[in-house]
Structure formats: C-alpha cells, structure tokens
Amino acid sequence: MTGIKICGLSTPETVDAAVDAGATHIGLVHYEPSPRHVSLEDAAKLRRRVPETTRVVLLTVKMQPAELETAYRAVKPDIIQFHGSETVEWMAMVRQILGVETWRAIGLKERATLDRARAFVGKVDRMLFDAPAKALPGGNGVAFQWDLLDGYDHPMPWALAGGLNPDNVSDAIARTGAPLVDTSSGVETAPGVKDIALIRAFCEAVRATENNRLS
C-alpha cells in the first residue's frame, strides 16, 4: 500500500480529515518562518487526536540539541523529519539517543544529488526527495523533474514530495514508483490553510491509482 503523508496540518478539523481519509502519516511543522508552524503546545494537542494506526511526523529545521529534545518530549512524534542543513553525524546521534525514527528531506535538482544522498544510508530511516529549497525549505508547491529518479536503485526507504496535489499524484506514482507520497501546499487554498475536500481528493487519487494497478 502506498503511504500517504499530509504535512503542515494545524487544526483539529484537518487532522481528523486526514486520518479519516486514510492518510498513513500526518506532519506537524515546528518552524516559525513557515505559515504552517504550530507551537509545541498546539502540536502536542493535535498529536493526541491521532490514532495509533496513523504515524505522526514532526518537521524541524536546524534545531539545537536542547531545543530538539524539548520538542520531542513535548510532542512525542513517531518520526522526526530533518529539513535543514543538519549534519549526518547529528542526525545519526538523534536517532540513537532518542530512539526515534528519522527522515531526511533532500532537495533534488540534479542526478549527482542522489549520489551524495547515499551518505545518509544507515544514518536515517527514510529519505524524502523534495524540490530544491526556496524561501522555505519545503511546502513551496513546486515539483522537481521526476525523471531524475529514473533507474535509480534506492538503497533505503524513500518518499516523494514537492508540488504533489490531487491532479498529479497518480502520474507521480506511476512515473516514479514512490512507496510514499507527501503533500502540503497541494491540499491548501492559501499558504497554511488546508482544505478538507482537497485532503480527501488527494487520498482518493492515491488509492485509485493502487486499485487501477491491481486490476
């Protein structure tokens, strides 16, 4: 089954909608410059709404060690997603000390980036291929060239992000074979404003793609 992550959720209604629509992961952004930022207090409240069958990802950007531990203890996410310039050594240490699953977002703009990304093998649990960073490290609604992944032998679990929405996610899965797809701005009506109907449409498009593939 293709995994579905709805990222940047900030209200009880949209968290409930993502869970009800069949998302396997929901993402909470703790990064103040982002329009999707939620405080640790609010993130903890949203996290408590999520059933055990849905995994919670806490997205962080270049947090200092004490800050990250505080955030982890407050929210208790299943996964920490690194979306900044964190070093391989730092991410590996977090994974070991906190005993938490970790993901690394990678802006993909050229094939050589895939070779450099191999440094993360064994240091994080999943690589998330996204469009290159702009003003924000993610959630910019921009796709990268999916053909960069053509023929790539993925050495570890991975996910596809970057400009995915209900209209293009089926093509993205068919083109890349992504085992997990991640959307944020693709299910919004304005930056940070999630739309329940779009969340449902995104999840339905993913499941329809799977059904077509099996039929």
Of residues 72 and 215, more confidently modeled: 72
Q: Quick check: 178 and 126 in contact, CB under 8 A?
A: no
Q: Binning pLDDT at 50, 70 and 90, where does residue 80 land?
A: very high
Instruction: Take residue 15 and report the two structure tokens written for it.
Output: 């968290």
The residue among 105, 116, 108, 161 whose CA lies nearest residue 132 is 108
Q: Is the pLDDT of residue 107 over 70?
A: yes
Coil, strand or helix: which one is 187?
helix
In which element (H, E) is residue 183 found? strand 180-183
CB neighbour burial string for 9-27, b if at least 16 within 10 angstroms, e if fewer: bbeeebbebbbebbbbbbb
Q: What is the fold of 3-214? A: TIM Barrel (3.20.20)
Cα–Cα distances in angstroms (integers) from residue 23 to residues 2, 16, 43, 117, 205, in the given order: 10, 10, 18, 27, 12
Q: Is the pLDDT of residue 215 over 70?
A: no
Amino acid at position 200, single letter: R
Q: Looking at residue 134, what is its pLDDT?
A: 53
Q: Looking at residue 190, what is its pLDDT?
A: 96
Instruction: Take residue 9 and report the two structure tokens written for it.
Output: 């959720």
Q: What is the DSSP string of 107-133?
A: E--SHHHHHHHGGGBTTBSEEEEEPPP
Q: What is the DSSP string of 189-214?
A: EETTEE-HHHHHHHHHHHHHHHHHHH
Q: Looking at residue 136, what is its pLDDT?
A: 53
| Site of tokens 């949209």 | 14
Q: Quick check: 154 and 208 in contact, CB under 8 A?
A: no
Q: Looking at residue 142, what is its pLDDT?
A: 65
Q: pLDDT tens-digit profile of 92-101?
A: 999 999 999 9
